[in-house]
Amino acid sequence: MKRFSRFLLVSGTVAGFFIVFGCSRAVNQHLPREQGSLGEGVPAFQVRPGYRVTVAVEGLENARFLECDGNGTVFVSQPRAGNILALRDRDGDGRYESRTVFVEDRRTVHGLCWRDGWLYFAQTGSIHRGRDANADGKADTVETIIPEGSLPSGGGHWWRSLLVTEDAIYTSIGDSGNINDETSSERQKIWRFDRNGGNKRLFASGVRNTEKLRLRPGTQEIWGCDHGSDNFGRKFGEKPGSDQPITDLNPPCEFNRYVEGGFYGHPFIVGTNLPRPEFQDRADILRLAARAIPPEWCFGAHWAPNGFTFLTRDLFPDHRGDAFVAFHGSWNSTKLVGYCVERVLFDRLTGKPYGSLTVVSTLDRNGNVLARPVDCLEEPSGAVLFSCDLTNRIYRIEPDRR
């Protein structure tokens, strides 16, 4: 298991069980020399023992977010081309040999969510849904649910998360830059709509760049990973890119449980309720810190978690209820960090994270970047797919049965 660089706790009891609340931070490290296995054509990833990585699909330019219809069709968004592809593994060998264009000409298409026979998808300023009535892999009907102009579009963080529940649609709007004070705008917030696209209202605020929202299985809890901000040490005299001992480790990226009315700190408060130095002289900084909801789990600084999936099946022993998270990797760090798929372990009694393990590192042992994971998806079989927009592939993680 990973070692932790800090552990903040407040104790409490529920039904006689001792519970620890707070935020532990996982520290990136090389996996042990003992390795899992790699399938044909997989780069020299570092793989934790007990797991195997294979190539599920290749030749997918700008492969980003993943979704499944529950019956084996996997959808992948390609925001540059504006396509959503529908993939099928017809012979069950772990490779998706069938490929069709489900939706096209939807530039900036990003977040995906399957609900009630429809694939919902988000563009930077609108949300739509498509349905394939004749099972040919192409949408026969496409409807706009939230039209252009209902949401801010573009900006430094132009992508949109998307969660569709039984009665609502949720989407987040990120910071237009790094640490802009956009509290008076519609940015840095999660918005809730009715399923028909009406009744827009604020759900949560203080988010920087949450690219995916999901319900934790068996609950109505909304979870998402938020990117930490950049250049935390600049106010202390750091030289970005060369001498930044503070920025290299701060602030953490976050795994949050989002609640209605919740404030998550950005841009003023980071991590476990620490003010950014740029805002430390605000008259209300203590009130902001008191209001901010700290992360349920902290990842390393600049790891850049994008997509994740909760595990609901038993293919991997004792994994049910945990999450696999894809990390795109750092740019604002003097050492490459992230670039991995991480398993976040959830306590079955409290429903809270308590540890994390690197399952796949896509840095080789010499520190070269071999892939940039974007999103994770649990297949109906229980295996986990992760997309990569550097190698234009989708990889598959399964138990190593050697």
Tell me the per-residue pLDDT of 254-301, one tens digit each, with 9 for 90 and over: 999 999 999 999 999 999 999 999 999 999 999 999 999 999 999 999
Determine the 3-state secondary structure of 289 from DSSP: helix
Q: Flag whether pLDDT at 4 surpasses 50.
A: no
The predicted model gives 3-28 an average pLDDT of: 39
Residues contacting 282, CB < 8 A, separation 6+: 268, 288
Q: Flag whether pLDDT at 14 surpasses 50.
A: no
The pLDDT of residue 241: 78
Sheet containing strand 74-78, strands side by side? 66-68, 74-78, 83-88, 98-103
The predicted model gives 197-206 an average pLDDT of: 97
pLDDT band at 93; cut points 50, 70, 90: very high
pLDDT band at 158; cut points 50, 70, 90: confident
The pTM for the full model equals: 0.91
Please choose, from the candidates 234, 254, 253, the residue with its C-alpha nearest in 3D space to the C-alpha of residue 243.
234
Two tokens, residue 255: 């795994």
pLDDT band at 16; cut points 50, 70, 90: very low
In the chain, the percentage of residues whose pLDDT exceeds 90 is 83
Measured CA to CA in angstroms, residue 140 lies from 131, 136, 271, 390 at distances of 6, 9, 45, 31
**Reduced to 3 DSSP states, what percent helix, strand and coil does the chain have, rounded to the nearest 5?**
5, 40, 55
The pLDDT of residue 250: 95
The pLDDT of residue 156: 72
Please choose, from the candidates 383, 385, 400, 333, the residue with its C-alpha nearest in 3D space to the C-alpha of residue 363.
333
173 versus 31: the higher-pLDDT residue is 173
pLDDT band at 23; cut points 50, 70, 90: low
Q: Flag whether pLDDT at 39 surpasses 90.
A: yes
Is the CB of residue 263 less than 8 Å from the CB of residue 205? Answer: yes
pLDDT band at 24; cut points 50, 70, 90: low
The predicted model gives 201-220 an average pLDDT of: 97
pLDDT tens per residue, range 307-323: 999 999 999 999 999 99
The predicted model gives 163-180 an average pLDDT of: 95
pLDDT band at 30; cut points 50, 70, 90: low
Cα–Cα distance measured from residue 90 to residue 104, given in angstroms and rounded to the nearest whole number: 23
Q: What number of CA atoms fall less than 13 Å from residue 211's CA on the CB side?
A: 26
The pLDDT of residue 149: 84
Q: Flag whether pLDDT at 10 surpasses 60.
A: no
Cα–Cα distance measured from residue 84 to residue 2, given in angstroms and rounded to the nearest whole number: 36
Domains and CATH numbers, the chain: 4-29+36-399 (2.120.10.30)
pLDDT tens per residue, range 224-258: 999 999 999 999 999 887 889 999 999 999 999 99
The pLDDT of residue 89: 94
> What is the residue-averaged pLDDT of the chain?
90
Measured CA to CA in angstroms, residue 297 lies from 22, 129, 271, 331 at distances of 8, 32, 9, 22
Q: Flag whether pLDDT at 28 surpasses 60.
A: no
> Omega into 267 within 30° of 0, i.e. cis?
yes
87-114 b/e (C-beta count within 10 Å ≥ 16 → b): bbbeeeebbbeeeeebbeebebbbbbbb
The pLDDT of residue 18: 30
The pLDDT of residue 290: 97
pLDDT tens per residue, range 338-381: 999 999 999 999 999 999 999 999 999 899 999 999 999 999 99
pLDDT band at 152; cut points 50, 70, 90: confident
